Amino acid sequence: MKAASNLVTEEGISKCLEYTEEKERFKELVSSQKVSISLERTGHYFDEDTDVRNIYRVTITRAGKRISFRFGDSINNTLKGETPDLYDILASVGSEYDLNGFSFAEFCDEYGYDEDSRKAHKTYVNWVKHNVKLHRIFNDEDIEVLPH
């Protein structure tokens, strides 16, 4: 595994500010956390992947709490040799946080999964677990200021 690097930098914050309407609240939020990534491996991230992509371990530390999760980068970034930045991670967190409260049927309807699929149910269970992690470290007000 490649050594972890902190993504909360001037450059990372600057890019995110382009995609948030509440710039001062975002600066306050991001200044209170550390977001680091390390490359775990290159491979298939999603069951339906036909191409490989870089898969990272993301760790977010904030207010004495720490969560960690896997992040499958875009195939395009992998091919270009680019690493995800703060925007990529936080925009992903914002979209995944919204899954809180989705029933399995709503999840399938929203993301095009078949309700009769065991793979879809496994994916749903993993997303719910991930969402629980995100709620440990962020609240609804925090998510509102993340880049989107």
pLDDT tier at 8, thresholds 50, 70, 90: very high
Q: What is the pTM of this model?
A: 0.86
Quote the domain boundaries for residue 11: 5-145
CB under 8 A, 24+ apart: contacts of 20-29: 20/145, 20/146, 20/147, 20/148, 22/144, 22/145, 25/145, 26/145, 26/146, 26/147, 29/142, 29/145, 29/146
Residue 60 has pLDDT above 80, yes or no: yes
Instruction: Render pLDDT for 20-30 as a digit per residue (tens, 0 to 9).
Output: 999 999 999 99
pLDDT of residue 100: 61
- Provide the domain count of the chain: 1
